[in-house]
Amino acid sequence: MEGSKIHILEELPKAGGSLDGENMPLKGYVVRGGREMENHFECLWDLFRSIPSLEIDNASVLDEFYWLNKEDPNYSRCRVIEKQGQRLVTDGDFTLTKTAIKEILDLCLTNEEDLDDVK
């Protein structure tokens, strides 16, 4: 399929999904979150298999992702950063209070219809 026939739909008014980011003068560069390419993205991987590489003859975009991941694996054991990429000291610590844990558990166990119109 020609690339001109592929359309990616975005729900939000700001394009980029979880990979967007912007420089906020008082906070620095802020992103909603980073996402790693996961094995279970079957439809995306299948799409990439069918798109020819722009730089390598007889290769696909999927091939390029595979080779890149072999050369420079992409994974993260860090979820919270500060000061231009420094790992937050408390990253990995489970610092919720018992009250907060109970509130989250109660929310998870609540029927969805009981949450209608709750603010």
pLDDT of residue 18: 60
pLDDT of residue 5: 87
Helix (H) or strand (E) holding 26: none
Give residue limits of the domains in the chain: 3-115
pLDDT of residue 19: 60
Q: b or e along 32-46 (b: 16 or more beta carbons within 10 Å of the residue's beta carbon)? A: eeeeeeeeeeeeebe
Closest by CA position to 66, among listed 36, 45, 42: 45
Cα–Cα dist 113/75, whole Å = 37
Return the residue matching tokens 């799409």: 47
pLDDT of residue 48: 92
pLDDT of residue 67: 95
Task: Let me know: does 61 contact 48? Beta carbons within 8 Å.
Answer: yes
Low-confidence ranges of the chain (pLDDT < 70): 15-20, 32-36, 76, 78-79, 91
| β-strand partners of 52 | 60
